[in-house]
Structure 1
């Protein structure tokens, strides 16, 4: 099993319409196709958003379960 890693994939520019383009090589490695749905997740720090992440929605429910399961177990339910 490969160890999870985090890295800067690209530097994106937001255009005057508020749009940005994910580089083709990143889309290909992530197996992203036209019509795919992504969830935008934000983290706030010091009264503002400091980090953004994109998650494929097909993986979102499993991730939510992984996060909530320990919380549910800690409440004794």
Structure 2
């Protein structure tokens, strides 16, 4: 599935919708990253929430990563694979 389809599945596409660089996130020596508090608050991300890390690969290298709520990913998988699985049963 293309990046546009993933974005459309979790974010409404409209004239006002846009992508932007929110902030730079550092990675510590243990490989951990911290999302800034103001971003977490705006995104409604709370301690204990599960986020899925989705990646795109080009020429054998990961070139883009996307974080999305795990429940959004689950709904997307059910929407796309549900009809396929029902056809197999």
Listed as ranges, the gaps of 5+ residues in structure 1 are none
Corresponding position of 1:59: 72
Corresponding position of 1:41: 54
1:25-76 CA deviation, whole Å, 9 max, x = no partner? 110011011100010000001111001110001211333355x37xx6xxxx
Count residues in correspondence: 71
Q: Distance in 2 between matches of 1:9 and 1:16?
A: 23
What's the RMSD between the two structures over aligned residues? 2.2
More helix by share: 2
Residue 2 of structure 1: how far off its partner (Å): 7.3
Moved over 3 A (4+): none
Corresponding position of 2:36: 23
Q: Taking structure 1 as the reference length, what is the TM-score of the superposition?
A: 0.76
Q: Distance in 2 between matches of 1:5 and 1:22?
A: 20
Q: Taking structure 2 as the reference length, what is the TM-score of the superposition?
A: 0.67
